[in-house]
Chain A
């Protein structure tokens, strides 16, 4: 059984940064693709980017380029997403999700991390 366990909820002020983690277990971490997807009230799901098994990273350029950074630590089987210059419309539940074979759909999801941006 694949498990993706994410870090806890965060409350941040506008302009700050947040870093969310996702720890994978019970599968070979470096053989799968991991995505970040967020779900915002009233805006639905938004795909943010992907970390390939090779370590290569591709971020949804139009929407997130320049404000979103993704990374991974293979020694702890953990991936990260960091969002900087937070705005109120970054308030969302952030999910990591595993991709079956690089097809860009998601067979396992983390439990989600609520990030609230509020002054």
Chain B
């Protein structure tokens, strides 16, 4: 089973700042089958990025994804108040599909 390790656990930033979240896989991907989700308290996850770098429908362009192999990054260029939430990566390279443990982006 592929283990995804996200870092940091918590990111304390101010609105308008740039957020950089990391997701590292325990084995290398031959294809960029990695997705990112946002989860606000009490809500279901929302798909942000798939294929490591493709934005889902309706997702603002301040969200971007990059990476390949074992190292992937989600970048939020300028944090808006609604972006303070928990972010999860998920791999769909090899079954069973697995998730990272999450990075919480909190207001500094």
| Contact surface of A with B, Cβ cutoff 8 Å | 44-47, 60, 62-63, 95, 100, 103-112
Contact = CB atoms under 8 A, between A and B. Distances in A.
Given A44-B101, A45-B90, A105 B47 contact: yes
Contacts of A100: 50
A106 B101 contact: no
Interface stretch (B17-25, B62-70, B74-82, B91-99): B91-99
Given A44-B101, A45-B88, A107 B96 contact: no
> Interface size bucket, B side?
20 to 34
Given A45-B90, A62-B96, A105 B50 contact: yes
Contacts of B90: 45, 105-106
23 contacts: A44-B100, A45-B88, A45-B99, A47-B96, A47-B97, A47-B98, A47-B99, A60-B96, A63-B96, A103-B33, A103-B92, A105-B47, A105-B97, A106-B37, A106-B45, A106-B47, A107-B47, A107-B56, A107-B57, A108-B47, A109-B45, A110-B44, A112-B44
B35 interface: yes
A63 B1 CA distance: 11
Contacts of B97: 47, 104-105
Contacts of A108: 47
Given A104-B97, A105-B33, A111-B44, 9 more contacts: A44-B99, A44-B101, A46-B99, A62-B1, A105-B50, A105-B90, A106-B45, A110-B44, A112-B44
